[in-house]
Chains A and B, each alone.
Chain A
Amino acid sequence: EDQVTQSPEALRLQEGESSSLNCSYTVSGLRGLFWYRQDPGKGPEFLFTLYSAGEEKEKERLKATLTKKESFLHITAPKPEDSATYLCAVQVTSGTYKYIFGTGTRLKVLA
């Protein structure tokens, strides 16, 4: 069964304290992996798409990487405005619209 697992469930960081969020997946065939950010009371906001192992994408303080079994979202010197829930989703090859989400990591950055 296709599955996406995110860890940790919640993370508290001091401002400037770098860390990484993990998204591990077990799927029949990976078409691609997506990272989204979700703020309270809002829908998810697209961050990155990763297509193949070894690929990296960066945006401001965020850097996403992909291996054959997992993806990491590295947050460098986070700020309080980076506080949000970060969602990982995979698109599998067995269905054009089959999009499997993880449960997310709730990040809180303290000033």
Chain B
Amino acid sequence: ETGVTQTPRHLVMGMTNKKSLKCEQHLGHNAMYWYKQSAKKPLELMFVYNFKEQTENNSVPSRFSPECPNSSHLFLHLHTLQPEDSALYLCASSQDPPAGDLYEQYFGPGTRLTVT
């Protein structure tokens, strides 16, 4: 495997279900991200982990719970979701640059989530 992989690619779940999304990066990066992409809306940053520590949580509802056991793996645990949570969930990774430098992010293919 190369780059950033995500499983599953498609997920349909009821509002009372519990499921998890998985992301794995094979790039040796230190930072990992979860984004939500909805139709006609910009990508929304949800969570950021740097060296397994959560550094950003952009006011995401508690029904989304991230987990980062190591710098290569990232999970998003889902429970009691709402239909408006249906979207493409993208995982990304990047190097953790020295202060003042820029970095590009490398994205996985995403998980298309449908909440019924």
Given contacts A97-B31, A97-B56, whether A46 and B106 have CB atoms under 8 Å apart is yes
Are A97 and B55 touching (Cβ within 8 A)? yes
A101→B33 CA distance, assembly (Å): 14
User: Would you list which residues of chain B between 21 and 69 have a CB under 8 Å from chain A?
Assistant: 31, 33, 40-43, 45, 48, 50, 55-56
What bracket does the count of chain A residues touching chain B fall in?
20 to 34
**Which B residues from 55 to 92 make CB contacts under 8 A with A?**
55-56, 90-92
Q: Are A44 and B107 in contact (CB under 8 A)?
A: yes
Residues of chain B touching chain A, judged by Cβ–Cβ distance below 8 Å, are 4, 31, 33, 40-43, 45, 48, 50, 55-56, 90-92, 99, 102, 104-110
Listed A/B pairs (30) with beta-carbon separation below 8 Å? A4-B42, A32-B102, A34-B104, A36-B107, A41-B109, A41-B110, A42-B110, A43-B90, A43-B92, A43-B107, A43-B108, A44-B43, A44-B105, A46-B104, A46-B105, A49-B102, A51-B102, A95-B56, A96-B55, A97-B31, A97-B55, A97-B56, A98-B56, A99-B45, A100-B42, A101-B42, A102-B42, A103-B41, A103-B42, A104-B42
Beyond A36-B107, A97-B50, A100-B42, 4 additional contacts (C-beta under 8 Å) are A43-B92, A96-B55, A97-B56, A102-B42
